[in-house]
Amino acid sequence: MHGHSYDDIDWDTQLRQLRENDELTAAEIGRLAAALVSQGEHCRSVVDIGSGAGGAAAAFASALPSGELTLVDSAPELLAEAHRHASEAAGDRVRVRSVRADVAADDLSSVVDQADLVYASLVVHHLPDQLAGLRRLSELVRPGGRLVIVETGLWPRVLPWDVGVGQPGLEDRLLAARQAEFREMREGMPDSARLPMGWTSALTEIGLRDVTSWSYLVDWPAPATGHVLNVVLRRLESLRTAAWTGCSAADFDALEQLLDEQGPHYAGNRDDLYYLSADTVCVGTRPA
């Protein structure tokens, strides 16, 4: 994906965390991939944009009866892991290819072949010009094929309303600060352009037809344990920077207490944490 530096990354840790994220949504992504492949007429080729550790790639490799799956990412470490994961699921039925490419590059269509289905999950919102990015992705779709984007519908919730430290409603204020941080990040991007419309309107704007959308829940009720708890704790960690600049000192202190492994309020010792989010799938067909 565009806009991320991969210098000095601890790839063992990064890949472990990405695998845990994939495990969190494996059932939902498996059902989504199967539905998208089965709904397409003669769907035999898929491009997975921003393939990460390969969770969605493996789901598509399992869903395709035959054909070709192309993985696209800008980090070779991620491509290698995604290729391994997808190849295990593909067996001898599906050919798996990897392409190292920047989704924000104008020459994307020259290095990635067209496919029956192009899938981009949590990618487009990172691009400076999201509408231009959607046009680039649509160029990868064969006439009559489909572009599928997945973006966050409702941001993840992990905390009860009153955590017993600080004022009730802490997570609402943390998320508001994160929204402000994201807005400032986008405003500071070189060549950033606003997208003053919803995703379905944007797909229609770039010329796709039969545009539709739906959402699915990712629901892991309390108590969060194992990989779910790890994801929840990382979610709280990710809110720390935004809380420092966008929340009151009292709210930041409350978050710090929740993240203090040696303290009495450490979130990892609670039995009421959970993970609940909604992602939205938007699909458009390229005119034949």
In sequence order, which ranges of 95-139 are alpha helices (DSSP H)? 108-111, 130-138
Q: How far apart are CA 287 and CA 199, in angstroms?
A: 18
Q: Is residue 21 part of a domain?
A: yes
Mean pLDDT for the stretch of residues 34-58: 93
4 lies in some domain = no
Residue 89: pLDDT over 80: yes
Could you tell me if residue 2 is inside a domain? no
**What counts of helices (H) and strands (E) characterise the chain?**
11, 7
- In percent, the amount of the chain with pLDDT more than 70 equals 97
- As a whole number, the mean pLDDT across the chain is 94
In-domain check, residue 40: yes
37 occurs within a structural domain: yes
Domains identified in the chain, total number: 1
Q: What is the pLDDT averaged over residues 76-93? A: 94
Residue 1 domain-assigned (yes or no): no
Residue 5 placed within a domain: no
**pLDDT tens sequence across 4-33:** 444 456 878 889 999 999 999 999 999 999
CA angle 33, 39, 43 (to 5 degrees): 75
For residue 192, the enclosing domain spans 11-285
Q: Report the CATH number at residue 69.
A: 3.40.50.150
Could you read off the pLDDT of 143-186 as tens digits, one per residue?
A: 999 999 999 999 999 999 999 999 999 999 999 999 999 999 99
Measured distance CA(83)–CA(98) in Å, rounded: 7
Across residues 24-46, what is the average pLDDT?
A: 93
β-strands 115-121, 141-157: how paired? parallel
DSSP 38-54: HHSTT--EEEEES-TTS
User: Does a structural domain hold residue 6?
Assistant: no
Residues β-bridged to residue 150? 121, 281
